[in-house]
Structure 1
Amino acid sequence: MEATHSPAAEAALTLTSPDQMQELGRRIAKLLRPGDLVMLTGELGAGKTTLTRGLGEGLGVRGAVTSPTFVIARVHPSLVGGPALVHVDAYRLGGGLDEMEDLDLDVSLPESVVVVEWGDGKVEDLSDDRLHVVIHRVVGNTDDEQRQVTLRGVGARWATAELAGLMA
C-alpha cells in the first residue's frame, strides 16, 4: 500500500487486493461517528461494497454487509453501542432528490453512519459534511486487483481529518 500525502482533508492510496480495501474500510470506521455521510464512487466491481464491508466490521454492526442493489437501503444495527450503518445503493434511483428523500436518510443520518454507493449528484444535499471515496481500477497494469482510492473530506467535520495516515 502506498499513500500519497496531500492536504489533511484529502489522500490518495494505491491498494493491491480486496483485503487491503476491506482493511481501509476498517480504518476509516475508526474516524466515523453518528451523523457521518460517506459517498462511494466507482465503476461496477471497483470495491465499493468490499470497502463498506470493512466499515461494518470496524463499526461492529450486525449482519453481513452485501450490496443493497435490489433493496436500495439496508440498515445494520450496532452490536457494540455505536452508530448503525445505513448502506444505500442509489444506482437504480433516477437521480432526483425526491427518490432519495423517500428513503428518509435525513432522519437516519443524525444517529447513524450513512454510506451511499452511486450517490454523486443525489445525496450531497443531505449534509454539508461528507467523506467522498472515489475508487478507480488501475488500467494498463497486469494486476487486476490494483485500485487507486481518493479520499476527500468535505466540510468542517473533515477539515482536520488525517486521511493520509489511514494506511500508513
Structure 2
Amino acid sequence: MKGSFPAEGSRLCRGAVDTQALGAELGAALEAGDLVVLDGPLGAGKTTFTQGIAQGMGVKGRVTSPTFVIARQHAPLGGGPALIHVDAYRLGGDPLGELDALDLDTDLEDAVVVAEWGGGLVEQLAPRHLAVTLDRETHAATEARIISWRVVEGM
C-alpha cells in the first residue's frame, strides 16, 4: 500500500456516498499483492466500501456481493492490478487452496484481494494485510457507520 493512505485510522461515514469515497481513497493507494480484510455485521457496507475501492483502483465491471460466486475478478482499465473480491465466509478451512481451485486468471500476488467476512480466515494469503472494521451499531438509527482500519504484520 502506498504511503498516501494512513496505516491506521478511523472515520465516520454518514452514508453510502461517504463509504464509497473512503473506499476510493484506499483503492487509489492499493498495489498488487495487497490484502484487505473487511469485517462487520450483515448490512454494514462491506460491498459498498469495495465499490469505492474498485473506483479508486480503476477496474472494470460492476462490483456486487460475491456471496453466490465466492470470488469475482475485476480486470484493470489501465496498467494497475486486478481486483479479486472474495466472500471469505463461504471459503472452507483452506482459503488459499479454495481460491486456487477457482481458476482465477490472475495470480494473487499480481492482484489486490478484498475479502469480506475475512477475519481469521484469509490472513495467510499475504505477509501483511489491512484489517478494516465497519461498525453500523454505534449509529444504528442512521445510515452512518464508523470505519476503522489498521495494517497488521504477519499472522
TM-score, length of structure 2 as denominator length: 0.86
Given that 1:42 and 1:134 are in contact with CA atoms closer than 8 Å, whether structure 2 keeps it comes out as: yes
TM-aligned CA distance change 1:138 to 1:103, over 3 Å? same
TM-aligned CA distance change 1:65 to 1:141, over 3 Å? closer
CA distance in 2, matches of 1:151, 1:131: 7
> Identity across aligned pairs (percent)?
50
* Partner residue in 2 for 1:23: 21
Please state how far the C-alpha of 1:65 moved relative to its aligned partner: 0.4
CA distance in 2, matches of 1:77, 1:140: 35
Given that 1:40 and 1:48 are in contact with CA atoms closer than 8 Å, whether structure 2 keeps it comes out as: yes
Among residues 80, 83, 91, which one is paired with 1:82 in the alignment? 80
| Pairs within 5 Å for 1:16-165 | 16-94=14-92, 96-97=93-94, 99-104=95-100, 108-139=107-138, 142-143=141-142, 145-155=143-153
CA distance in 1, matches of 2:40, 2:61: 24
* Partner residue in 1 for 2:3: none
Given that 1:100 and 1:122 are in contact with CA atoms closer than 8 Å, whether structure 2 keeps it comes out as: no
RMSD (Å), alpha carbons: 1.8
Please state how far the C-alpha of 1:139 moved relative to its aligned partner: 3.4
* Partner residue in 2 for 1:162: none
Q: Any stretches of 5+ residues in structure 1 without a counterpart?
A: 1-7, 157-168
TM-aligned CA distance change 1:146 to 1:124, over 3 Å? same
Deviations 1:127-164 (A, max 9, x none): 12111110011336532x111111111229xxxxxxxx
CA distance in 2, matches of 1:141, 1:70: 27
Runs of 4+ in structure 1 deviating by more than 4 angstroms, as ranges, are: none
Given that 1:138 and 1:146 are in contact with CA atoms closer than 8 Å, whether structure 2 keeps it comes out as: no
Q: How many residues in Structure 1 have an aligned counterpart in Structure 2?
A: 145
Q: Any stretches of 5+ residues in structure 2 without a counterpart?
A: 1-5
* Partner residue in 2 for 1:160: none
